[in-house]
Structure 1
Amino acid sequence: MIAPLIADLTVLVDDVDSVKIAFEEGSLTTLKIVIGAILFGIALDTRLEDFALALRRPGTIAIGVIAQFLLLPALTFGLTLLLDVRGSVALGMILVACCPPGNVSNILTHRARGDVALSVSMTAVGNVLAIFLMPLNVAFWGALHPTGKEVLEDIELSAVDMLVEIGLVIGIPFAAGIAIARLWPAIASRAGKVVGPVAFLGLGAVIVVGVANNWSIFVDHIGVVVLAVFAHDALALLLGYGIARATRLPPASTKAMTFEVGIRNAGLGLLLVFTYFDGLGGMALVAAWWGIWDIIAGLAVAQWWRHRSRSDSPAERALA
């Protein structure tokens, strides 16, 4: 009884590297617009003063940058080896780990009663750095992976091409949003309340349509990535929390650091999967499931922190 199930699972694991998830050209264009809108929404809520704030807290920002762009990809690489996942799943996990944070991290930090100013500053800095560091990280760690490098060789990934794509998707919307926020702050404030939520609804719709159009593939192979995404997401959140505690950040800053490191813009990862990896099954499944589970896990952590803050003494709340 058990042997056939194990055999079936082995077949699925082997097949996931060769599965291609169909994504129409129109849907890919829509996804690019949605991701650009998400980054535009982040920028509308960002002020140049946020970068000035980051310069006044260089140590804390540096901790976040090291955790996001050095430690998380490295630990993710180790996790893929520990779990012994297939090449496409490993590349999906590495790609997500290299993605920048999104403004979901700001929302969760606010809900957890954390340091929102720090969260916004780290999001702004992280997205700017990701333009340059993300393609380098993906190419570096992917090329080192024993099974992932074979997939990369077949795809012939160009870090320069990815840099250009990320620059277009992140850089242009981000620069435009910051310019509008600087020149017309009242308009940016009103627009920011609409653009962000609408863009995330659009991303959800694109994912739902993509899953519906590839339902049989999703059902057959989702079990291969569920455990990996659960472990990976927990690792990212624990890394943010652990490095904040190790460097003795205040409680409110610890909450911000947890979400800035733990929450990744998986939508951007999904876009890159379909742009450069031809909808490779394991990568697409990891990015899609991460985008769903990451928010669920983040909300659970934020709600727990919020509940705890209600029972804290006034002195403890002041420290937070």
Structure 2
Amino acid sequence: MSQASLITLNLILAMMMFGIALSLKLADFKRVLKAPRGPITGLLAQFILLPLITWLLTLMVPMPAEVALGLILVSSCPGGSFSNIVTFLAKGNTAMSVSMTGVASLAATVMTPFNFMLYSSLNSDTAVLLTQINVPASNILVIVALVLALPLSLGLLAAKLWPVFAARSEPFFRFISLLTLFLFVLIALTSNWSAFIAGASIFLLAVIVHNAIALLVGFSSARIMKLNKADTRAITLEVGLQNSGLGLGIIFTFFDNLTGMAIIAAAWGCWHLISGMGLCFYWQHHDRKHGIKIASNKEVQCGS
């Protein structure tokens, strides 16, 4: 990919994060401090448990090194804005989901490069790839900071100084964020279509299993902490729906020649939309069937 294309893609990613920040307020971050149990549970599941379990998976299950590297990278990314939309539709704790997305995006400027480089180096197969490519962790850190931390900070500032602009333009930027994800997925798949078709069964199986694990990690963490249904749904979706657009941005910038890695991140970008909405519809059906209403983050049992 040309340098101009890489710059354009990273600018689009930055704009996506700017749009996410327009829906955030300082109160969202204060909310994490006032009621930390749920967000901390989700963030630990996101940045500690999921990368660790993914690394163990790449050690125990035979797979191509590029596939393993792609899974490790995706597991190191924060949740994306799509998780906020699905959490709202699933009657989860949307406020906490938005707060977690903001905090996780800031934390990802350090945790994403750290987890990716750490667990990639602890797998002998992926460590060889990293050695061959020779990408310093500092380079990934700079890119992640530029496409996450900087636009997120600017978006928060814009939301504070120009709230009317933020309110009116936030839906547009949310649309752009989803469009960006589809754009990145389309580029990755069309550029590597023959390889994807040749190994479709491996790629799809790896992504479906890994996504199921991510959702289970979020759900199990919340249930262990005995959180209510609204919080559990928010954490499940925040951990299970990754910002694969960020992963693809990193791949296009540093690992453009690793076909398998790009396909894994692109397939994740497609599949997590399906699994997220599927889980949302299941929860909606379950609530209707059992007469459960979830309002103000509290569960209310209706009828007998």
- What's the TM-score, normalizing by structure 1? 0.89
Say if 2:185 and 2:269, in contact at 8 Å, map to a contact too. no
Q: Deviations over 1:25-50 (max 9, x none)?
A: 44433321221122111101110110
What is the CA-CA distance between 1:186 and the residue it aligns to?
1.4
What is the match of residue 170 of structure 2? 192
Which of these residues, 257, 262, 281, is aligned with residue 240 of structure 2? 262
Matched, 1:319 2:292: no
Amino acid at match of 1:310: R
Matched residue, 2:263: 285
User: What secondary structure, in the 3-state scheme, does the structure 1 residue paired with 2:91 have?
Assistant: coil
Question: 2: distance between equivalents of 1:314 and 1:278?
Answer: 48
C-alpha distance in 1, partners of 2:3/2:197? Answer: 23
SS of the counterpart of 1:319? strand
Give the one of 120, 124, 137 matched to 1:159. Answer: 137
Look up the match of 1:306.
Answer: 284
Indicate whether 1:77 and 2:55 are aligned.
yes
> Structure 1: how far apart are the matches of 2:74 and 2:270?
13
Equivalent in 127, 130, 133 of residue 149 of structure 1: 127
Deviation at 1:213, TM superposition (A): 3.9
1:250 paired to 2:228: yes
Q: C-alpha root-mean-square deviation of aligned residues, in Å?
A: 1.6
SS of equivalent residue, structure 2 residue 124: coil
Q: Structure 1 regions of 5+ residues with no counterpart?
A: 1-22
- Counterpart Cα distance in 1 of 2:120 and 2:17: 26
Question: Aligned pair in 2 of structure 1 residues 315, 116: CA closer, same or farther (>3 Å)?
Answer: closer
Measured in 2, the distance between the counterparts of 1:234 and 1:184 equals: 40
Task: State yes or no: 1:30 paired with 2:30.
Answer: no
Question: Residues of 2 paired with 1:199 and 1:227: CA distance?
Answer: 26
Amino acid paired to 1:107: I
Q: Which amino acid aligns with 1:192?
A: E
Of residues 166, 179, 182, the one that matches 2:157 is 179
TM-score with structure 2 length normalisation? 0.93
Q: How has the CA–CA distance of structure 1 residues 204 and 27 changed in structure 2, closer, same or farther, with 3 Å as cutoff?
A: farther
In 2, Cα distance between equivalents of 1:269 and 1:191: 25
- Deviation by residue 1:11-64 (Cα, 9 ceiling, x = unmatched): xxxxxxxxxxxx344443332122112211110111011000011112222211
Bigger CA drift: 66-75 or 77-86? 77-86
> Taking every aligned residue pair, what percent have the same amino acid on both sides?
39
Query: How many pairs align?
Result: 298
Query: What is the CA–CA distance in structure 1 between the aligned matches of 2:156 and 2:81, rounded to whole Å?
Result: 14
Match of 2:45 among 31, 54, 67: 67
Q: Is the CA contact 1:32–1:271 (under 8 Å) kept in the aligned structure 2? A: yes
Kept in 1: contact 2:86–2:280 (CA 8 A): yes
Preserved contact between residue 27 and residue 206 of structure 1 (Cα < 8 Å):
no
Report the alpha carbon displacement of residue 112 of structure 1 after superposing the two structures with TM: 0.3
* 1:124-135 pair list within 5 angstroms: 124-135=102-113
Correspondence 1:111 to 2:93: no
Task: Specify the SS of the correspondent of 1:147.
Answer: helix
CA contact (8 A) 1:239 1:261 kept: yes
Say if 2:48 is the partner of 1:41.
no
Judged with a 3 Å threshold, the aligned counterparts in structure 2 of structure 1 residues 48 and 222 are, in CA distance, closer, same or farther, namely same
Q: For the Cα contact (< 8 Å) 1:34–1:203, is it kept in 2? A: no
Kept in 2: contact 1:40–1:174 (CA 8 A): yes
CA separation in 2, counterparts of 1:180 and 1:86? 44
Correspondences of 1:215-234 after superposition (within 5 Å): 215-234=193-212
Shift of 1:224: 2.5
Q: CA deviation at 1:311?
A: 3.2
Q: Aligned equivalents of 2:261 and 2:193: distance in 1?
A: 16
In the aligned structure 1, how far is the partner of 2:292 from the partner of 2:230?
14
Aligned partners of 2:32 and 2:99 also within 8 Å? yes
Corresponding position of 1:19: none
Distance, in Å, in 1 between the alignment partners of 2:38 and 2:292 is 26
Cα pair 1:274 1:280 within 8 Å, conserved: no
Q: Mark the CA change 1:54 to 1:316 in structure 2 (over 3 Å): closer, same or farther.
A: closer
AA aligned to 2:115 is N
CA distance in 1, matches of 2:78, 2:237: 12
